[in-house]
Structure 1
């Protein structure tokens, strides 16, 4: 059927246009495309029939949100029912396919979102202010500006609830803090090493060294009475005694009080940064357990957070195929290999996972491909599941462990469908047990319920396997007995 009307959703309201002349044949020609830019020629193709302005800014935002999500609102349904001719077979041109399906379901109007409808909507968008009599020059641009601010503000508010942005900022700050703390700690060692060079060889930990430099200050003040004070920091009395002995025979130079004061101030700053780094790491762990628990259980909190940060969001990571996740972070090496026609990289950020280090040299590429596959599954579960849980991540981690054992020993690993079914059954049984526990014992723990459910599923599977084995044995025995009887009869006949 040919297109009869076109719907135009603007920032000011809904507009309905009647198609007078429009042909699909030749619509892609340059001459036909050029006529859309000319209002005098385009006005012969299409004509404005009605326009329904929005009541206020809130009404405009609500309707545009519905349009962007592909939903037919009540106001749009009433507008179409009022202005479309009744009893005729009208075909409405719409910009979005999802919106076309919603209008067809709600208002029972035949809709189309083909190339012809898109071209006509493009022309209406160019000449809307001149074609709609209710609009004046500049009204549409002002409405678009105001609605754009409100629409983007609503999207930003919605995006605040997505904590993957917090994960991206936290892991970026954590990596920056690691670099800065390494530089600052080396500076403390070099600065304080002029006064007490032996301390650097005794204490290897940067955080502990900074605390000792702040506590000791002048090495000449160290004595046997300082061992308890040093033991609180080193947590080793023998090491504290070694520090006192080294201070007595130290070859370091004496420095002034003002220099010691500056070293102490800088060491205090390094200590505070180290403590903040620990609190930031705990914050990152808590966020990962809330936002991406399965990805964290599978590949680790830090590696999972780096994957999310590199992808831009958890949603983007969930949309990536496993081949992209495998080399995520190794883009330079990939393009260099493609340019020089060399070997492409086998892994990117997932190289920091413990599974890659545990695999043999020949199996690193295989296990990285398998791990990337499981990481995509975990990220999709985390992104699109309503109730976050780490049970799927733990099951996927066991699958990777089985695959490592398969490469080493040849033991057959479990199938992905079987493991997913086990976890789904365990979660369903855990929910049932939780409902029963809430009715009988409100204080029953969820962890016990989930573990009991997993054990129940495993017991059921073991029973089923035993029953199958017993049936197979019975059938084998039944098949063997008649053969034995026939062989006995033959032997008797031969003897006779």
Structure 2
């Protein structure tokens, strides 16, 4: 194996080629070797900067660090290595008697493949690069104190921003936050609505039996306030509030014979304020559900068409992202959300769960008891396909999800009637043909419009010519 004579160090300021003058590989973790690495005087005797290529701008630094992080070799790095190690490579790639130490084996493989320079990534190289990193400002001439730290901070911020940049087609982070807030609001609104019922029932207990919906109850309590103030004229307004004139008349009849206690103004004011807050929260929940629907439509239209907004968003949230969900096998998607039950079954050697979050889908409820496990496995398979199409397709469309949903419906009918469902390959070919025809039609429309305008201009020109005669 060739000796590590040079080190490639990628800094925020530029590329540095470090020449190793000599050090023992054995005992690199010893106290003496560690003291050599931390002391600049001793470290400068075994390592020195052979060449340094500074980045020309912040954009140039970001482009290079993005390529390096993905294991790609930039043109600048190739020219830098070949210009400085050209003499050593004159004998040919087969006669290279040295090795280049690199921090990452991925970039090492790329460098070796592109230039023919043998690359090594081991404990010795990592320790030497740690010493170079610690004394970099002193090794490179012209760098002032603090320049390296400022460059690292600026490049770190730019690199982080480039990794988390907003993408309108992949807004799964907003979906995760929206479904978490939606679940929390659902729980809180139910708790608050029960508190409104208990509180207002001291004054008007019969209202709970007439109006069972929490949102409508809060709106009614907010409108009625004192039951004595409910006149026939206000009953019409109450019917408009409840969107049900019949219920409004039942509330009026119950108010006339109510057995509730009288209530003071201050108590009524607090009940009214609290009921107003609950109704506002319920309205916000509806708008949040619409927001989630629009985000799912933009981010995962096929998963939305197949399994719905709520269940699809919970799958994405539990997986961490749409990309992570798309990488899961169908068997994992099937029990996603039932991890505790799975590990408990494995520990006790009992029956493993048949479904997790997808249990909330209507397909599972519609299947018979003996077919629930089979349909959950089939549905998880289709969810896996839909999430992969959503994650990696360039043109978002919901046609695949709609056809996958039809396949699940056919499978349910097959369990009930024995009707043979279509094959997945045939269904996918139909969708691809439909999308291709849509693209052709879209491309033909502008041409037809242009032709129509041209014909119109020709007719006008001909008409103008006759008029001129």
Q: Tell me: CA distance 1:421–1:82, structure 2 relative to 1, closer, same or farther (3 Å).
A: same
Deviation readout 1:406-425 (Å, 9 max, x if unpaired): 22222222222222222112
Query: CA offsets per residue over residues 128-165 of structure 1, 9 Å max, x none?
Result: 15588316787655543443233223323347884111
Mapped pair 1:351 → 2:355: no
2:76 is the counterpart of 1:75: yes
Deviations 1:430-457 (A, max 9, x none): 1011101222158xxxxxxxxxxxxxxx
Secondary structure in 2 aligned to 1:363? Answer: helix
User: Contact 2:27–2:33 at 8 Å: present in 1 too?
Assistant: no
Contact in 1 for aligned 2:336/2:357 (Cα 8 Å): yes
Mapped pair 1:133 → 2:139? yes
Q: How does 1:182-221 map to 2 (within 5 A)?
A: 182-221=190-229
- Answer whether contact 2:335 2:357 (CA < 8 A) is retained: yes
Asked if residue 416 in structure 1 is aligned to residue 420 in structure 2, the reply is no
Does 1:109 find its partner at 2:103?
A: no
The residue number in structure 1 matching 2:60 is: 59
Output the TM-score relative to the length of structure 1.
Answer: 0.78
**Which structure ranks higher in relative contact order (CA pairs < 8 Å, sequence separation ≥ 6)?**
2
Residue number in structure 2 paired with 1:256: 264
Q: How does 1:236-247 map to 2 (within 5 A)?
A: 236-247=244-255
The equivalent position to 1:317 in structure 2, one of 317, 325, 343, is 325
Residues matched between the structures, number: 433
- 8 Å Cα contact 1:3/1:93 also seen in 2: no
Partners of 2:336 and 2:206 in 1: how far apart?
44
1:235 aligns with 2:239: no
Superposed, 1:400-439 pairs within 5 Å as: 400-439=408-447
Q: 1:151 to 1:389 in 2, by over 3 A?
A: same
Contact 1:15 1:52 in 2 (8 A): yes
State the Cα distance separating 1:11 from its structure 2 match. 2.3
Distance 1:118 1:393, change over 3 A: farther
**Within 1, Cα distance between the matches of 2:68 and 2:263?**
73
Q: Aligned Cα RMSD in Å?
A: 3.1
Counterparts of 1:355 and 1:218 in 2: how far apart (Å)? Answer: 46
Preserved CA contact (<8 Å) 1:321 1:376:
yes
Pairwise CA distance, 1:72: 2.8
Q: So what's the TM-score if we normalise by structure 2?
A: 0.83
Q: Distance in 2 between matches of 1:345 and 1:258?
A: 53
SS in 2 for 1:52: strand
CA-to-aligned-CA distance 1:109-130 (integer Å, 9 cap, x gap): 12566xx434454133212155
Q: Does 1:8 pair with 2:35?
A: no
8 Å Cα contact 2:169-2:298 kept in structure 1: no
Q: Secondary structure at the match of 2:139?
A: coil
Q: 1:158 to 1:216 in 2, by over 3 A?
A: closer
Measure how far apart 1:292 and its partner are.
Answer: 0.5
Deviation (angstroms), 1:285: 0.1
Alignment deviations for residues 307-333 of structure 1 (CA, whole Å, 9 cap, x no partner): 111111111111222222111111211
State the partner residue of 1:84: 85
Correspondence for 2:281 among 273, 277, 281: 273
Deviates more, 1:233-242 or 1:323-332: 233-242
Change (3 A) 1:410 1:160: closer
* 2:337 maps to 1:329: yes
- Counterparts of 1:322 and 1:100, CA distance in 2: 36
| Residue ranges of structure 2 left out of the alignment (5+ in a row) | 451-469
